[in-house]
Amino acid sequence: MNNLKNETNQNLDNSHKHNDHFHDHHGDHNDHSFKAEFLHHFPYAVFSVALGMVILSLLDYVSYSSLPRSLPSSCNGYHMLFHSFHFLHILFAATGTVITYSRFAKNPSLWKVLLVGSISPMIFCVLSDVVLPYLSGRVLGVDMEFHICFHRELRNVVPFLVMGILNGLILRTHHTAMLRMFSLGSHFTHILISSLASLFYMVSHGFTDWYSQMGYVFLFLVAAIILPCTLSDVIVPMYLAGKK
């Protein structure tokens, strides 16, 4: 009987150790190299851009089906959608940057957290949602309009940036398990919002005939989203936190 108890306890201990190892390996992402993070983000970028193109196709279909249709009014609608998703992208990016930096920095001061949480989204959200989609359109022969919201609509950008930083400051005080649950849902949402912002920027700033070059648009946008989002969410805040 004692032998049976000992054997059972040993099996339970081994099971716990296996679960802990599995949890650490799959939950904590011990390998934080650029290659590992790139591969981790890649499927999210592919699926989010694909889903974004489905949403844009449906909106175009509804727009074409609703007669009479005017191109200026349609572009104005996409222009509004671009701003909405661009501002939401800034919110998510600021939150993710603050959480990552706070996690890896040793006793980070508040002013450093605020600085990193402000500058990183300002650079990489513009790069992902505006600069790279603009360059993609130009490469494909479209006369694109260049528009940066941080320059022209700062009064609308600042509230989303401030709330994103505040949200990150609050979330970083939560337990690690809660942060993991938040990251699981928000990660795909963040990249989907970025892909929609990029798509709506292209359509509302000159690329109205995007579906005729759908394949190239898809490839360009995957690159435009995965590189800035990986840098903004993980690589840059970890580097600034001193994680090598």
- Answer whether residue 16 shows pLDDT above 80: no
Residue-wise pLDDT for 133-157, tens only, equals 999 999 999 999 998 888 778 889 9
More confident site: 56 or 238: 56
Q: Is the pLDDT of residue 239 over 70?
A: yes
More confident residue, 61 or 193: 193
Average pLDDT, the chain: 79
Q: What is the pLDDT of residues 34-78, one digit of tens each?
A: 677 778 778 888 988 899 999 989 988 787 766 555 555 556 788
Q: Is 159 domain-assigned?
A: yes
| Residue 25 confidence (pLDDT) | 40
Q: How far apart are CA 104 and CA 81, in angstroms?
A: 35
CA distance 14 to 112: 43
Residue 156 DSSP SS3: helix
Q: How far apart are the first and last CA of the chain?
A: 52
Report the range of poorest mean pLDDT among 67-71, 93-97, 128-132: 67-71
pLDDT at 178: 60
- Backbone angles phi and psi of 206, in degrees to 5: 130, -25
Confidence of residue 190 (pLDDT cuts 50, 70, 90): confident
Q: Is residue 161 part of a domain?
A: yes
175-186 residues labelled b (16+ CB within 10 A) or e (exposed):
eeeebeeebeeb
Q: Which residues constitute the domain of residue 49?
A: 45-240
CA–CA dist 195, 85 (Å, integer): 9
Instruction: Give the 3-state secondary structure of 195-206.
Output: HHHHHHHHHHCC
Q: How many domains does the chain have?
A: 1
The reported pTM is: 0.79
- 205 in any annotated domain: yes
In a domain, 1, yes or no: no
Q: Is residue 24 part of a domain?
A: no
CA–CA separation, 161 and 89 (whole Å): 9
pLDDT in tens, 206-215: 898 888 899 9
The answer as to whether 79 is a domain residue is: yes
Whether residue 178 lies inside any domain: the answer is yes
Check: CB of residue 220 under 8 Å from CB of residue 132.
yes
Question: Is residue 21 included in any domain, yes or no?
Answer: no
pLDDT reading at 21 higher than 70: no
